[in-house]
Amino acid sequence: MADMPRITSSLFVLSLSASAEIHMGLLLPPGSDKPAAPDLTEGAHLIEVIAMLEEKTAGNLEESEVGLIDAVLYDLRMRYVEASRTGKRVVEP
């Protein structure tokens, strides 16, 4: 565990953000050389998880953490809209 970074709220939000990007086919999955099949439904779900964290932690975060969540949500929402417009399909369960 010594090699693992200390878990912070910012690291947690960034981890969720990266997972959303992987599901939307915008980032390579760890250990892979090609994107996963886009799953916009799962990407949207993770965006909503981050939005829920923003709501539930309101008033309890440092200014930098609030700024990070705001920036991450804005970026992910814009990238989701673009992925939806470019015809990427939702992966069927």
Arithmetic mean of pLDDT, 50-75: 97
Residue 87: predicted pLDDT: 60
Q: How far is 15 from 93, CA to CA, in rounded Å?
A: 23
User: Nearest-CA neighbor of 20 among 50, 43, 4, 45?
Assistant: 43
> Does residue 88 carry a pLDDT above 80?
no
Estimate the share of the chain in helix, then strand, then coil, as percent rounded to the nearest 5.
60, 0, 40
Question: Residue 20 is which amino acid?
Answer: A
- Unique residue bearing structure tokens 């930098």: 64
- DSSP letter string, 38-61: P-HHHHHHHHHHHHHHHHHTTTSS
The answer to whether 23 and 47 have CB atoms below 8 angstroms apart is: no
Q: What is the pLDDT of residues 3-29, one digit of tens each?
A: 888 889 999 999 999 999 999 988 889
pLDDT in the model for residue 93: 33
**Quick check: pTM over 0.75?**
yes
